[in-house]
């Protein structure tokens, strides 16, 4: 239980730091946020919990394939916001678009025999 609390604390601190930096400098905040901190922490926590390299390898492989469809959010949201769409509506639509891209990617990978 203590380990879970430590994971939660470290992960939360990183999110707060990035959001505070972004208030002062959006470019720097974006640069820090673009570092795959969540992916890195997830792989570290998984290894600490299981000491299973195959699980870490599988997680890393899944992250790799899912980065491409996740970019849909960062393309669609600015377009929607510049079009005058409300932030929350735009975020919701962008998330739905991203989910659709995830589904399409998983379908395409399965057709090529790539298992996640």
Q: Is residue 43 part of a domain?
A: no
Q: What is the 3-state secondary structure (H, E, C) of 21-61?
A: HHHHCHHHHHHHHHCCHHHHHHHHHHHHHHCCHHHHHHHHH
Total domain count for the chain?
A: 1
Q: Is residue 46 part of a domain?
A: no
Residue 28 tokens read as 């720097």
* Range of the structural domain that residue 94 is part of: 53-116
Q: Is residue 17 part of a domain?
A: no
For position 72, what pLDDT does the model report?
97
DSSP one-letter code for 18: H
For position 70, what pLDDT does the model report?
93
| 10-residue mean pLDDT series, the chain (116 residues) | 87 88 89 84 92 95 92 97 98 97 95 88
What is this structure's pTM?
0.75
- Largest separation between any pair of C-alpha atoms in the chain: 49
For position 43, what pLDDT does the model report?
93
For position 36, what pLDDT does the model report?
85
Q: Is residue 2 part of a domain?
A: no
Distance CA 79, CA 91 (A): 11
């Amino acid at each position: 239980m203590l380990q879970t609390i430590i994971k939660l604390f470290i992960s939360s601190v990183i999110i707060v730091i990035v959001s505070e930096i972004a208030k002062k400098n959006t470019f720097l905040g974006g640069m820090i946020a673009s570092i795959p901190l969540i992916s890195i922490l997830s792989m570290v926590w998984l290894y600490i919990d299981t000491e299973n390299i195959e699980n870490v390898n599988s997680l890393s492989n899944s992250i790799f394939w899912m980065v491409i469809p996740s970019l849909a959010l960062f393309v669609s949201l600015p377009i929607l916001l510049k079009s005058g769409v409300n932030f929350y509506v735009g975020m919701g639509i962008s998330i739905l678009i991203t989910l659709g891209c995830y589904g399409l990617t998983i379908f395409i990978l399965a057709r090529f025999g790539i298992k996640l």
